[in-house]
Every structure is written in structure tokens, then in C-alpha cells.
Chain A
Amino acid sequence: MKHLISIEDLTKQEILKILDKAEEFEDVALGIRKCRILEGKILANLFFEPSTRTRISFETAMKRLGGEVVNISAQEASSIAKGETLADTIKVVSNYCDAIVIRHPLEGAARFAAENSAVPVINAGDGAGQHPTQTLLDLYTIRKECRKLEGISIALVGDLKYSRTIHSLIKALTLFDTKIYLVSPEILSLPEDFLEELNGDIKRAKLEDIIGEIDVLYVTRIQKERFLDEEEYRKVAGSYRITTATVEKMKESAIILHPLPRVDEIDVKVDSMRQARYFKQAFYGVPVRMAILSEVML
């Protein structure tokens, strides 16, 4: 039985296999072609904290492949959990379905769930820990929109300290021959411990110094609550705001990604520029999750 808990559990070959599979499912995701390979299978979406986007993306993927979905919301999940451990909840729910997607506020919860489950577990985010399906869809988007993964240069902008999206993505990118620039305010820079574990071409940089040479600009939200001083926040948040003027300095072929939701770190005027690909990125979540679901259940 296969689980998907952390991007680190996957080899480069396994990652590429999922991306190739996603490619095959793209027309199914668009509704152009029918495919019922998961007919008769049930997926349980077990969300201990709300994340509508991720949940709907899994639900769509499952339904496009002919499968069924039971959604267990944050409220229901916590009422199942009333006086009951996660271990027990998983033992019960895994008897009802063929795979479980779990979202949980505690780090390592998905791995622990997998250890207690009779069916494959897919991690849809555990606290500040892992979010491997987001990383796979990010990689897929880069490969699709840049037409390659090897040899690209990418700037990661925003909250590099707490963003689980960023941590998983950096780990995965180091498997490919990529040049990574870290752009963040000092207090939100990548943790030293984390950086030490990585091998690869990774440098801190100022956005204005590299904006003209990068292939991918990956923007994340800077959370206000991370700052003690609101004025400090305003200064920092403003300095990483992507406007049409920023985009004009980018290469024609470069792309802008964002895991969404955004607040105001990307000006809405950017949306209509050819470099903006974050909504396309959100769509790619469907074929990528189809690939993952078929991989774990078939």
C-alpha cells in the first residue's frame, strides 16, 4: 500500500511518474475525455481544519475518475474526535473507504494517520509540516508552462520561514538542476537548520537584482500575524508587492506562480499579463491529484 505523506518520501523518478500521469489526465480533468478508472472506489476527505480549495480539488479529481467522495468537515472531524484519538478515528474511517485525504493542524499527523490506516493516506497539509500534493502541482505547472524543469532559475518570494508550500517545493527543486533564489524579509527567511540539509544552488537575493533573469517568480503570502509591529509589516509586505512595473522587468517567457489565496501581494492588474499563471496553476491541481489518487488506489 502506498501513502503520500511527504515529498521527501518520493524519488525523482516517482515524482516524474506522477507528473507524466497527470499529463495523461489533463483532458479528463477538462471534461473532454471520460475516464472511469476509479469507479466503485470511495475517497474520504478528512479535514480537521478547513481548506476548501484543496478539498474541492481532491473531490473534483476523484469524481472525474468515476469515484465517490465522502467529506468529513472540520466540525464533523472534531466531533468524531470528541474523546476519541486520531488513531481511532483513522481506524474507523479507513474501514469505510479506499483512501483517505487528511488535513490536520498538528505536524506529523498524516504520518501517524498512515501508521494507523488500513487504506492509503494522502497528506493535504499537516500544520507547518508537509503539503506534498501542492508541491507536485507546483512542479507540474513549472514543467508545463516553462516546458522544462531542469535548468530553470526560480525566485521564491515572501514568507520562507513558515510556508510549508515553500519548504516542500525547495526540497523537490533540489532534485532537479535548478537555481533557487530566496527573497524574503530577514525575520521570514528560511530556517538555517533547513538550509543546512539541502544540497543545491540556493542563494539569498534581492528581487530587483534577479528579476530580469529568472524563469519562475513564486510568490507567497506574508502573514500579518507573524509580525509584532504592524508598521513593520506594512513596510515589508509592500516591498514584495508584485505590480505591472515588476512584471515588465521580467523575461517575456517567465511565469508568476502563487499557491493562492493571495491577499494583495500580486496586483490584480497583473492577472491579465502573459506571465501570470497562478490560476492555471490552481487548475493543474486537478490532473495532478487525479494522478496521485490513481497511483495510490490502483
Chain B
Amino acid sequence: MKERELVVSKIREGTVIDHIPAGKALLVLKILGIDERTKETVSMALNVPSKKMGRKDIVKVEGLFIKEEELNKIALIAPNATINLIRDYEIEKKFKVKLPEVVKGILRCPNRMCISNSKEPIKSIFYVKVQDNEVFAKCHYCGRRIRELAEFLL
């Protein structure tokens, strides 16, 4: 806790997302739907020294409790992230994100000739896999593999 307290102030109630790969914090905010119009207090620490990761980012959002779909998205871009749910300045629950095996309607297929990009009533489906510490996803329909998942988040 000490390390974190130094860089970002405590929150009373909300979510702290830790162990985000350095440089991905802004993307996490985007996933959470946080932009300049947001009313919540948001704090962010970038490039924090970390024993495990070398450098990491941390995001804290006052009053926000993260949803399942957002967790799945965060897992795709930050597979080692830890989520802390805070109430009354105390950690009520702490857990690691879990990489989903299948994601529906979360990623866009880069293949223009893929049926999932057509006008059909269709949701994209991707199978998520880890190979050599790298996360990739494979399209259920056309079989296309994507690695830079962040670029294809819907």
C-alpha cells in the first residue's frame, strides 16, 4: 500500500486498477468510458516503478464500480491488472483480472472480407489465447488472428 499512497491519493469509495502495463492507463480510462465530461474524481499515475513490471500505470476512480464487460476489456489489454474495490478507504475486495476465453462484441475483426464486418445481425466472436506471454485473439468467423488487441477494441 505504501508505494501507491505516495503516488496517488486515497479514495473513499470506488475502484483502483493496479499493475496496468506502462502507457496503457489512458486506454483503461477509455474502456471505463471516462473522458473530459466525467464527474467522478479520477487519478492516474504513469510510469510508476514496480518490482514485478519494471514500470506500471495505476488508475483510481472515485465512485465507480467496475462492470463485467469492462473487466473483460481491461483483461485483454492489461492481463496482469489487479482490481481493488474500495469502501470507506478500505480494500473491500481485491482480485486479478481474468483473461476471458471468448469475447463477444468486444473486438472488431480487421478483415474487411469477414462476415462479422457486414450488415448482418452479428456480434463479433473472438477466442482469446496466450502464447509466449503474448495475448492474441482469433476470429470465430474468418480465423484471422489479432495481436494488438487495443487497436481493435469496439
Contact = CB atoms under 8 A, between A and B. Distances in A.
Indicate whether A and B interact.
yes
Interface of A: 6, 85-87, 104-109, 111-112, 126-129, 193
A4 to B, nearest CB: 16
B8 interface: no
Given A85-B119, A85-B121, A112-B120, A105 B141 contact: no
Nearest to A104: B115
B50 to A, nearest CB: 31
A181 to B, nearest CB: 24
Chain B facing A: main interface SS: loop
> Which A-B residue pairs are the 6 nearest by beta carbons?
A108-B141, A107-B142, A108-B115, A108-B142, A106-B115, A109-B115
A112 B141 CA distance: 7
Nearest to B142: A107
Given A107-B141, A111-B140, A86 B113 contact: no
B10 interface: no
Contacts, number: 46
A106 B143 CA distance: 12
B118 interface: yes
B122 interface: yes
Contacts of B119: 85
B130 interface: no
Given A85-B119, A87-B120, A87-B121, A111 B141 contact: yes
Given A86-B120, A87-B121, A108 B114 contact: yes
B135 to A, nearest CB: 15
A103 B23 CA distance: 45
Contacts of A112: 115, 120, 122, 141
27 contacts: A6-B143, A85-B119, A85-B120, A86-B120, A87-B121, A87-B122, A104-B115, A105-B113, A107-B113, A107-B114, A107-B141, A107-B142, A108-B115, A108-B116, A108-B139, A108-B140, A108-B142, A108-B143, A111-B140, A111-B141, A112-B115, A112-B120, A112-B122, A112-B141, A126-B115, A128-B113, A129-B143
Contacts of A104: 115
Contacts of B111: 107
Given A107-B114, A108-B140, A126-B115, 6 more contacts: A85-B121, A87-B120, A107-B115, A108-B141, A111-B141, A112-B141
A68 B44 CA distance: 67
Contacts of A86: 115, 118, 120
B132 to A, nearest CB: 11
Nearest to B119: A85
Q: Interface centre among A87, A104, A105, A112, by most B CB within 10 Å?
A: A112
B30 to A, nearest CB: 27
Contacts of A6: 143
Contacts of A85: 119-121
B145 A193 contact: yes
Nearest to B147: A193
Contacts of A109: 115
